[in-house]
């Protein structure tokens, strides 16, 4: 079966940099996605990595290492509006390429 692990909660200071890790176990890995969800809101897409390396989109970057079954989301210049839950999700052959989601990491930002 598939499984994903990410920390349940991370705390950081406004203006700082924070990294949210995600490790996964799948037998037919296809790609790793990251989504942001504010309390009471819907998930919104942040990034997708299918190949090893770093993808940068503004203040957010996402990294993937397929050999280590590991990825992370890097948030720079943290703003209070970045307080949210962040989910990693794997596209996997065994799930017919549908997303299997982690339990989410709640990011708390302090002024």
| Interaction site with other proteins (CB under 8 A) | 4, 31, 33, 41-45, 48, 87, 89, 91, 95-104
Burial class (CB in 10 A: 0-12, 13-18, 19+), 40: exposed
Nearest residue (CB) to other proteins, 1 versus 111: 1
- Least separation in angstroms between CB 59 and other proteins: 19
- Least separation in angstroms between CB 19 and other proteins: 19
Contacts of residue 89, defined as CB under 8 A and 6 or more positions apart, other chains included, come to 4, 32, 33, 34, 35, 99, 100, 101, 102
Q: Hunting for tokens 């700082």 — which residue is that?
A: 16
Q: Which two tokens stand for residue 103?
A: 């339990």
Nearest residue (CB) to other proteins, 76 versus 95: 95
- Least separation in angstroms between CB 15 and other proteins: 28
Nearest residue (CB) to other proteins, 15 versus 105: 105
Nearest residue (CB) to other proteins, 78 versus 105: 105
Distance of CA 68 to the CA centre of its chain: 16
Q: How far apart are CA 24 and CA 66, in angstroms?
A: 10
- Least separation in angstroms between CB 16 and other proteins: 25
């Amino acid at each position: 079966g598939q499984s994903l692990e990410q920390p349940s909660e991370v705390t950081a200071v406004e203006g700082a940099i924070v990294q949210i890790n995600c490790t996964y176990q799948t037998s037919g890995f296809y790609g790793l996605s990251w989504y942001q969800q504010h309390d009471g809101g819907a998930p919104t897409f942040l990034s997708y990595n299918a190949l090893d390396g770093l993808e940068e989109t503004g203040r957010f970057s996402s990294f993937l290492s397929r050999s280590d079954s590991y990825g992370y989301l890097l948030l720079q210049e943290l703003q209070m509006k970045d307080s949210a839950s962040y989910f990693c999700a794997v596209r996997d052959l065994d799930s017919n390429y549908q997303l299997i989601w982690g339990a989410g990491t709640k990011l708390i930002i302090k002024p």
